[in-house]
Amino acid sequence: MLAFAAMTLPITATAAPGRFTGAFKPAGPYVSGGNNYYFRVQGLPDSAGCLQNWAFVNEADSGSKAKIATLLMAYSQGRNVSLYVEEDGAGYCRIVEFVVQ
């Protein structure tokens, strides 16, 4: 009976674990519509494991204004960044947090 109960429990999908990209100099930013991968950091290294060579922050994301301002500062000063990214439901890399070096 216990085995049957275990088999009927709902199974939930888990998101792919996040990961750091490793330090890199971001290429030029790309800005789109508010929730259409709004602010994109381009030039991600292969170590990021993203399907594309960019990661994004959407306007509705927590702390988006501070993230975008800091990423623009890093880009304009030629600083390295290391992004922590997670894949969204469509397989694109969302920037969760990052370090400017």
**Percent helix, strand and coil across the chain, each rounded to 5?**
20, 30, 50
For residue 4, tell me if it sits in a domain.
Answer: no
pLDDT of residue 69: 97
For 58, the domain range is 16-100
Q: How many domains does the chain have?
A: 1
pLDDT of residue 16: 58
For residue 54, tell me if it sits in a domain.
Answer: yes
Which pLDDT tens digit goes with each residue over 7-57?
Answer: 454 444 445 579 999 999 999 899 998 789 999 999 999 989 999 999 999
Rounded Cα distance, 73 and 68, in Å: 9
For residue 88, tell me if it sits in a domain.
Answer: yes
Domain with residue 54: its CATH number is 2.40.50
pLDDT of residue 10: 46
pLDDT of residue 28: 86
For residue 1, tell me if it sits in a domain.
Answer: no
62 phi/psi in degrees, rounded to 5: -60, 125
Task: Please report which confidence band the pLDDT of residue 6 belongs to, taking 50, 70 and 90 as the band edges.
Answer: very low
